[in-house]
Structure 1
Amino acid sequence: MKKLMVALVTPFTRDNKVDYKSMDRILHRLLKEGCDGFIVCGTTAETPTLSHNEKLSILRHVIKRVKHRAEIWYGCGSNDTAATILACREAQKEAIDGVLLVTPYYSKPNAAGLYAHFDALASAVDTNIMLYNVPARTGVELTYETIHALLEKHKNITALKQACSNLDMVRRLKQQHPDFLIYSGEDGFFDEGFDAGMDGLVSVMGHVCMKELRTFCDDERVDNRLRRRLYELAALTFTEASPAPVKYMLHLQDECENILRLPLVAVSEAAENRIQEYFKKYRHRLED
């Protein structure tokens, strides 16, 4: 069975505070629909706009609400190795399943620098580590050789969120490290990722289609109509800067305000129209 996790949004109130009531609505429904885990304070959470205290408050709130019914991974990576070590040590005091650590952005270290960064992190903490490979956002990419070398040394590096389409690396890693968990971080490649041996999906669109994803993954029969529907939704979810599209979708479901923190803004009217047409076409939680 494939594991389905959601990279959780951070709902905001109209006065730009964290909206915990809306967060509770989203968490409650996703748990009911079979969500296996949550990435807290990842990219989708608009983490660069959250203060240190807000991030810890959100993490503790999610832990309290989830009550061990799903995995919780906390995003606390940065391009400062020393600061990331401190953040990981603070996080591992909480009831989490592990930390999500993105490759250092902006600095653009080479392969030796990437290895040294994650080697230092894995040596400094005991908690499980999920590597986050997202070259489109960070400008650097973890290679098979770097990940393989890290896995040979560190048992607490247990998972990878692969947010790019390098499926050859996925196949090689699963062949050499079959117990190493690899999750697709790209909604638009989930099916190809599963075929390549990925263990699950860390999804943004899953906020609004968890039931459908669960059905697709659990049903032995391939439903091409459902596949097309999910791929269409995946394209809409990233039609503009994420998480703006999925926040608008959640707003249509009356689950949160359509509010983002600058520099991100709400989706354009054209994107709104495309999303509304999709929801109407499939009667997807939206009244005609």
Structure 2
Amino acid sequence: METSQLKGTGVALVTPFTKQNQVDTEALTRIVEYVTQGGVEFIVVLGTTSEAPTLSKEEKKIVRETIIQANKKHLPLVLGIGGNNTQNVLDELKETDLTPFSAILSVTPYYNKPSQNGMYAHFSAIAQHCPLPIILYNVPGRTGVSMSADTVLRLANDFENIAAIKEASGNLVLDMEILRHMPKDFIFLSGDDTTTLPSVYMGGSGAISVIGIAYPELFSRMVRSGLAGNISEANALQYELMPKMSLAFKEGNPVGIKAFLAAQGLCEPYVRLPLVEASDSLKEAIREVL
């Protein structure tokens, strides 16, 4: 895969549900078409925003197949395969048909709280068994651990198929430590909507976004403007999007973004326990910004 496919804006899609708590394939198809028309560069399937931990194997298959069919090979697809049991991740890689996908996104192991050497060993094992390029995913706000810049750089230098990182700590100092020393062809993607543009200015290649699902045209234009050095336009778009970003994460992800998509008529706001859908006050605030 050309790593240029991972530049710009990717969006980590939600899994819409019906009132009966089933995967809403019609809504998922609508969302794929919406973000594609909005100009995003790639789509992430079964990432954190998809509520993957609450999906059965059969439901994950339905989500994958629905997105593949709706995408019609228009955009590169990235598949989320990660977890805190290394052997389970390796088994899932072996059991999943990876041919429709351009890369996998793999999160740092959560709950176990491995050391830096443990995280290195975990991703080393994945790299040795994965036929696709790998995007490391660092999101300490969800996992309870943060991969250090040294560990990221060690993995990037030691394995050719570790091609990128989605860095979602929101820590710009950590971002800079990676950006400053990373290999020439390594791709830095922000996983934090609010700090995407600063990371682009420092040498990043784009983002895997949440608010970009609801505002694909605005967010992808902001990233492209930043990459092109059109700073005044990029800054104006950043400041236009900031209140929307704040609301999207006010009650957690994907609770907020599903409320945005529901207000836009793209899907229902339903989430699965232990999440609960957005409060009436958040829904009203979202309707106001729309």
Gaps of 5+ in 1: 280-288
Cα 1:159–1:91 change in 2 (3 A) is farther
Partner-residue secondary structure (3-state), 1:160:
strand
**Contact 1:100–1:130 under 8 Å retained in 2:** yes
Partner SS, residue 215 of structure 2: helix
Deviation for aligned residue 1:14 = 1.0
Secondary structure, in 3 states, of the residue corresponding to 1:222? helix
Q: Alpha-carbon deviation of 1:58?
A: 1.1
Report the CA distance between 1:221 and its aligned residue: 4.8
Deviation at 1:105, TM superposition (A): 0.5
Once residues 54 and 256 of structure 2 are traced to their aligned partners in structure 1, the CA distance between those partners, rounded to angstroms, is 18
1:74 is paired with a residue whose SS is strand
1:212 aligns with 2:218: yes
Say how many residue pairs are matched.
279
Is this contact kept in 2: 1:36–1:70, CA < 8 A? Answer: yes
Identity of counterpart residues, as a percentage? 35
Q: CA deviation at 1:67?
A: 2.4
Matched residue, 2:158: 153
Question: More displaced, 111-120 or 159-168?
Answer: 159-168
Counterpart residue number, 1:285: none
* Kept after mapping to 2: 8 A contact 1:7/1:45: yes
Alignment of 1:1-288 (within 5 A): 3-91=8-96, 93-174=98-179, 175-219=181-225, 220-223=230-233, 224-279=235-290
Give the partner amino acid of 2:24: D
Give the aligned residue type for 1:16.
N
Deviation at 1:5, TM superposition (A): 0.7
TM-score, normalising length: structure 1: 0.92
Compute the RMSD of aligned alpha carbons. Answer: 1.6
Q: Which has the higher mean CA deviation after the structures are superposed, 169-178 or 77-86?
A: 169-178
TM-score, reference length from structure 2? 0.91
- The 8 Å contact of residues 269 and 278 in structure 2, kept in 1 or not, is answered as no
1:51-90 deviations in Å (ceiling 9; x for gaps): 0121122112212221221121111101000000011223
Task: Give a deviation string over 1:155-191, Cα, whole Å, max 9, x none.
Answer: 1110100001233343343343121111110111111
